Amino acid sequence: MTIKGPAAGLIVIVAGAVVELGSEFGANLPDADRAFLGYRLALGIGLAAGVLQILIGAFRGGRLTEFFPLTPIHGMLASIGVIIIAKQAYEVIGVTAPKGVGPLGLLAGLPGALSDMNPEIAIIGGVSLLILFGLPLLPIPGIKKVPVQLVVLAVAILMGMAFNLDHRHTYLFPSQFFGSEQAAKFEVGPRFLVEMPEVLKSPATAFAFPDFRGLATATGLKFLFLFTVIGSIESLLSAKAIELLDPWRRKTNFDRDLMAVGAANVLSSALGGLPMISEIVRSKANIDNGARTRNANMFHGLFLLAFVLLLPALIHRIPLAALGAMLVYTGFRLASPKEFIHAFKIGPEQLVVFLGTIIATLATDLLVGIGVGIALEVMFHVWHGTPVTALCLPRDLLQHQTLLNGITRERHLLTCVKLSPSLSLRSWPAVLSLIRIRAMSKVCPSHRFTSQAK
């Protein structure tokens, strides 16, 4: 029941791969050529990651993702949300983001960028944000069933037509709006609209083919790891969440799902497409709208293809400020205050892991950030007396454990284990040697130890 497609969690990874690989292999090329080369190199990484995902699924490795603790993963996703906001906020106000500046620098430069904003573009972006955040809050029956992004696109296209963004021209602000004697001149035009090739007229423009030279570099291997691990974890977590939401409670074959995602990524990257995952938002909307079979995923792709092939002129009318607003909204959801509150409710230590992952990611990169998060997680568990050998529990011990962690069911040092009330601790002394009641109360503050000895 999951819908496959590109997702916000991979945006920063793909963009980083394009920039870093393009700079490494095409430092002397013009900007446009360097970006295209970087994209082809990123496609090579994406195709290799797809092959790895197929192999992981074929060898029943879907459970390997359970070895990654959830708090650093959520911290990484929150940091991706902050990065998206930092970059796309400039698009919303019609200002070119400074190049070669990290996310912290972009955030610091936002107040100054407001004085340089393009008013008409900022109006489109501001109205789009208002709709995205405000429409679901209206006390109107059935309003939440209306796709808010579709409303944004419709309104933004009409505003773009009203501002004549199809044609390059200048305008004065605020004299044309408020009759003020003082006015500044601003320029608008097609560069503020989505660039969309007409595929039927020029089929070659729809394709780009992978370049595999990046796989022989440290940068390429770093992004291969990120593409594979982050894409796999997000896909499997989304599939698990949708399994719980399915009204018919059907079970998901996670290894098969991962193989399907990998095969799709191989084909997509081979033809010039972005990497994809099992996307949670579209999948939930799929269930909410009554979908029952996997055909919904097929029709989702067919409708996207039809729009790209048959309606490129309509897509070209979409203002970039509206798309930027959607990404800012997505970034806010990834880095929502609820995520910080949830981490704190689990325990102060998990909040430290969460914040440490975010800070390290923003200050360095995704790989270092998630490494710092996992290191903090291990440090806290070891601090509370959990032996490092518990990273991998013996198979015979795992067979006698009843795990009730409904989110991840991890079975190692980085996660929490709960025992069912029906389990006799006297019957399983090995369990007592692994988990001490006192340690459990500290290591897993969000879970109560519910087993009772008989």
DSSP class per residue in 106-144: HHHHHHHHHTT--HHHHHHHHHHHHHHHHGGGS--TTGG
Residue 372 lies in a domain: yes
Residue with tokens 């490129």: 312
Q: Which residues make Cβ contacts (< 8 Å) with residue 410, sequence separation at least 6?
A: 66, 67, 69, 416
Give the pLDDT confidence of 54-81 residue by residue, as tens digits: 999 999 887 766 666 778 888 988 998 8
Give the pLDDT confidence of 98-137 residue by residue, as tens digits: 988 889 999 999 999 998 999 999 999 999 999 999 999 9
Give the pLDDT score at 421: 43
Pick the more confident residue, 371 or 321: 321
359 shares its domain with 396:
no
Pick the more confident residue, 432 or 303: 303
pLDDT at 426 > cutoff 50: no
Give the pLDDT confidence of 188-217 residue by residue, as tens digits: 999 999 998 888 888 888 899 999 999 999
Residue 401 lies in a domain: yes
Of 258, 271, 269, 279, give the one whose Cα is nearest residue 54: 258
pLDDT above 90 covers what percent of the chain?
A: 50
The structure's pTM equals: 0.76
Pick the more confident residue, 278 or 88: 88
**DSSP, residue by residue, 261-277:** HHHHHHHHHHHTPPP-E
- Which residue range(s) make up the domain with 431? 388-443
Residue 451 lies in a domain: no
41 shares its domain with 174:
yes
Give the pLDDT score at 365: 82
215 shares its domain with 273:
yes
Give the pLDDT score at 403: 42
Residue 98 lies in a domain: yes
85 shares its domain with 109:
yes
Q: Residue 383: count other Cβ atoms within 10 Å of its Cβ.
A: 11
103 shares its domain with 127:
yes
Give the pLDDT score at 210: 97
Give the pLDDT score at 271: 94
78 shares its domain with 7:
yes
Identify the domain boundary among 310, 333, 356: 333
Give the pLDDT score at 448: 33
Mean pLDDT, the chain, integer: 82
- What does the alpha-carbon distance between residue 145 and residue 208 come to, in Å, rounded to a whole number? 37
257 shares its domain with 198:
yes
Q: Which residues make Cβ contacts (< 8 Å) with residue 97, sequence separation at least 6?
A: 87, 90, 91, 106
Pick the more confident residue, 322 or 443: 322
Residue 452 lies in a domain: no
pLDDT at 410 > cutoff 60: no
257 shares its domain with 110:
yes
Give the pLDDT score at 423: 44
20 shares its domain with 102:
yes
Name the 3-class secondary structure at 182: coil
Mean pLDDT of the 23-43 span = 95
Identify the domain boundary among 294, 312, 333: 333
Residue 283 lies in a domain: yes
Which has the minimum average pLDDT: 194-208, 239-253, 401-415?
Answer: 401-415
Q: Which residues make Cβ contacts (< 8 Å) with residue 135, sequence separation at least 6?
A: 143, 146, 148, 151
**DSSP, residue by residue, 371-418:** HHHHHHHHHHHHHTT--GGGGS--HHHHTT-----TTT---STTS---
Count H helices and E strands in the chain, helices first: 19, 4
Give the pLDDT score at 389: 60
How many structural domains is the chain composed of?
3
pLDDT band per the 50, 70, 90 thresholds, residue 450: very low
